[in-house]
Amino acid sequence: MTIPLSGKDVASKIEEKFPGSVVESSQDNLVVKGNFLLDAARFLRDTEGLDLDFLNFVTAVDYYDHFEVVYWLSSLEHNHSLTIKARCYDRENPVLPSVVGLWQGADLQEREIFDLFGIKFEDHPNMKRIFLWEGFAGHPLRKDFI
């Protein structure tokens, strides 16, 4: 059985290393600030005992006043998992750092989020639309699209 790691425990470890980076945390929830996302992600991947080396999926959810980007990570070695989230409050020009440098598996999925939600991932090697064509007006999975 894959054991979900406690968001609270991991949050205290991240907070210790990068003070002021955690927005909120509970047993099954962990939200970090966007500007600390890359540091926190690298910490989760490289810290012994966590070794979250497998990025199962990345996706986004539109909550009207903010976007939440969800990263579902797991470790094949220890067979545990963790969900980490980051929020964007800017609807006009939402930006987050790209994690492609850490997990290449995020490549196509971050392009998908850009296409369907309009969230830009900085330092992504090929940040362009993936399903819809260049010049398509709007981002369909946003709640205000229709």
Partner 1 sequence: MAVRTEPFVLNMGPVHPSTHGVFRMRATLDGEVVIDIEPVFGYLHRGIEKLAEQRTYTGITPLTDRLDYISSMSNNLAYCLAVEKLAGIKVPERAEYIRVIMAELQRIAALLIAVGAFLNDCGAYFTPFLYMFRERERIVDLFEMVSGQRLTYNYMRAGGVSQDLPEEFMPALRKFMDMMPRFMDEYDRLLMQNEILIARAKGVGILTGEQAINCSVSGPVLRASGVNWDIRKADPYSIYDQFDFDIPTQATGDCYDRYRQRVEEMRQSLRIIRQAMEQLPSGPVRAELPQLIRPPTGEAYARIEAPKGELGFYLVSDNSIAPYRCHIRPPSLINLTALRDMVRGWKVADLIIIFGSIDITVGEIDR
Binding site for partner 1 (CB under 8 A): 1-2, 53-57, 59, 61-62, 70, 72, 76, 79, 83, 103-109, 112, 116, 126, 129-133, 140-141, 145
In angstroms, give the least distance from the CB of 16 to partner 1. 27
Based on CB atoms, which residue is closest to partner 1, 28 or 35?
A: 28
Give the C-alpha separation, 50 to 10, whole Å: 9
Residue 20 or 64 with smaller CB distance to partner 1: 64
* Residue nearer to partner 1 on the CB measure, 123 or 145: 145
- Contact between 115 and 124 under an 8 Å Cβ cutoff? The reply is no
CA nearest to 114, candidates 34, 63, 58, 71: 58
Q: Which residue has tokens 């907070």? A: 15
